[in-house]
Structure 1
Amino acid sequence: MNELFTEIMVWKRIDACSAVRYSCVSDLESGKFAVQSADFFRVPLTRNSTNDFMAQFAELFIETSPRERCIWFDSLADAIFHHDEVFS
C-alpha cells in the first residue's frame, strides 16, 4: 500500500510578536487535507526550537500514519478551522 502525502506549511500571524505554523498534509490518494500539528513561534526565535518542531513533525509522521492519526477534510481551510476549534 502506497502512502504518499504532500507536506503543506500554512502560516498565520497572531500579533506583532507571534505566529502559528500549521504543519498540514495532503493525501495524494484521496485528495483530502489534515493538520498534523501546529507550532507557535514568538520573537526572538531560536534555531533550536525551529529544529525541534521539524523533528517532531517527522517523528509523528513515522510513528503513526497520518491516515490514522489525522481527521481529514475536503479543503485545507476546513482542516485548519477544525484544528483551531479543537485546540483553542
Structure 2
Amino acid sequence: LSDYEQDWDYFSRRIRAGIVNWNKPITGASGAAPFGGVGDSGNHRPSAYYAADYCAYPVASIEADKVRLPEQLLPGLVLASPQS
C-alpha cells in the first residue's frame, strides 16, 4: 500500500510474481489472474494442453493511485482505531 507511484513503478518492474496489485485487492477468483506458472506457486511441470500458456510468465495488475478503504468491509472484518 502506497500513495507513491514511483515506489509502485520500481517494485512492479523488479518483482517476479504473477499477480502484483497497487492499492487494490484481488478478492475471489479472477479469470484475469495467472494460474500455475514458473514461480513458487507453480511446479515447472506442464499439466494440461494449455499449460504452456500459463507457464509463460504472465503478469496481471490492478492499480489505484490512492489508498482507499472499501465502501463496505467484508463480513467479519473490523478496523482497529489508530492509537495516539
TM over 0.5: no
Structure that is richer in helix per residue: 1
With the shorter chain as reference, the TM-score category is: under 0.3
Structure that is richer in strand per residue: 1
Q: TM-score of the superposition, structure 1-length normalised?
A: 0.22
Higher relative contact order (CA 8 A, sep 6+): 2
Q: Which structure has the greater CA radius of gyration? A: 2
